[in-house]
Amino acid sequence: MSSRRMTTIAGSLVAASFSTVMILSATASADDEGPGSSKGGKAVDEAPAGVKLTTLLPEEISVDNGSQETTMTATVKNEGTEDSGKIRLWVVGFDGMTVKNVQGCSPIAEGDLPEGSNSGYTCPLDNLAAGDSKSYDVAATYDLNKTGKICLPVQNSDGSKTFWQQGPVPFGTTNPSPDAPATPLLLGTDNTPVAPGGDDELPKTGPGRDVLPLGAAGAALITVGAAGLWWSQLRPRQRES
């Protein structure tokens, strides 16, 4: 077999392998970060020296058109040179996206949710070593007649500082497929409802978007370019046991 043909076959196998990984990313094991994107993410409060925390979400998810169910993997990473110490990851749903479960994490009490969100889970970590990552399997539902967004803040253990926040970033499609078994949604895309009767004025991302209130704490909000909305600080929460 010629070297050119061998190269072509090898390239095809690599492409097929990559596609398989993308499909399976939503069910990745807890410590397998899998492919993902930090789109819509930004550092907020200054992290401890040598600590650099970020998050990843899949570039694409798929929503079952019958059950409205979807799954994904949310990953927190420490790209710094020092251990993180105690931190927590929040996984919070907005609008059409409702977070139903995050493996190994606890539901956030309704009164503690950021204003405007409909659901959320808190995932405490005693430590994230330098260069390590931790991934969580997320189960959610998505009402395709609405926009849907998700937010991943990474905070210190009591929530008084937010070292990184991804979102609220939308998943959506501009080409809905109501007659198909499932609808693929892309990260960073505003959703177009699959049928008439959705919101007349859909929320938009980007510089012109209205900021979301954060509730009783009255924390300040800022809007940062095309990356979307950032919370400078979520409400301090009671220290986790």
For the chain, which residues make up each domain, given as ranges?
3-231
Q: What is the pLDDT of residue 178?
A: 82
Phi, psi of 89 (to 5 degrees): -105, 130
At residue 81, the pLDDT reads 98
Task: Give the model's pLDDT for residue 177.
Answer: 82
Kindly report the CA angle at 218 between 101 and 76, in degrees rounded to 5? 35
pLDDT score, position 35 = 59
* 24-45 burial: b if 16+ Cβ within 10 Å, else e: ebbebeeeebbbbbbbbbbebe
Q: How far apart are CA 218 and CA 182, in angstroms?
A: 39
Stretches where the chain sits below pLDDT 70 are 1-35, 194-241
**Contact (CB, 8 A) for 99 and 138:** yes
Phi, psi for residue 183 in degrees, rounded to 5: -115, 120
| 3-state SS record for the chain | CCHHHHHHHHHHHHHHHHHHHHHHHHHCCCCCCCCCECCCEEECCCCCCCCCEEEEECCEEEEECCCCEEEEEEEEEECCCCCCCCEEEEEEEEECEEEEEECCCEECCHHHCCCCEEEEEEEEECCCCCCCEEEEEEEEEECCCCCEEEEEEEEECCCCCEEEEEEEEEEECCCCCCCCCEEEEEECCCCCCCCCCCCCCCCCCCCCCCCCCCCCCCCCEEEEHHHEEEECCCCCCCCCC
Q: What pLDDT digit, counting tens, does each position of 164-198 carry?
A: 999 999 999 998 888 899 999 999 999 998 655 44
What is the third-level CATH fold of 3-231?
Immunoglobulin-like (2.60.40)
Q: What pLDDT sits at residue 139?
A: 98
Q: Is the peptide bond before 193 cis (omega within 30 degrees of 0)?
A: no
